[in-house]
Amino acid sequence: MTRLTEAQREQLEALRRLYRAELPGKLGLIGGAVDALHAGWEKAHLEALYDHIHKLTGSAAIYGFGDISRAAGELESWALQALDGGL
Q: How far apart are CA 49 and CA 47, in angstroms?
A: 5
pLDDT for residue 86 is more than 80: no
pLDDT, residue 23, reads 97
Q: What number is the average pLDDT over the span 25-31?
A: 96
Q: How far apart are CA 10 and CA 18, in angstroms?
A: 12
- The per-residue pLDDT for range 9-22, each reduced to its tens digit, is 999 999 999 999 99
Please tell me whether residue 5 adopts helix, strand or coil conformation: coil
Q: What number is the average pLDDT over the span 23-30?
A: 97
Q: Check if the beta carbon of residue 72 is closer than 8 Å to that of residue 53.
A: yes
pLDDT, residue 79, reads 94
Going from the C-alpha of 4 to that of each of 9, 12, 16, 18, 66, the distances in angstroms are: 6, 10, 15, 19, 20
pTM of structure: 0.85
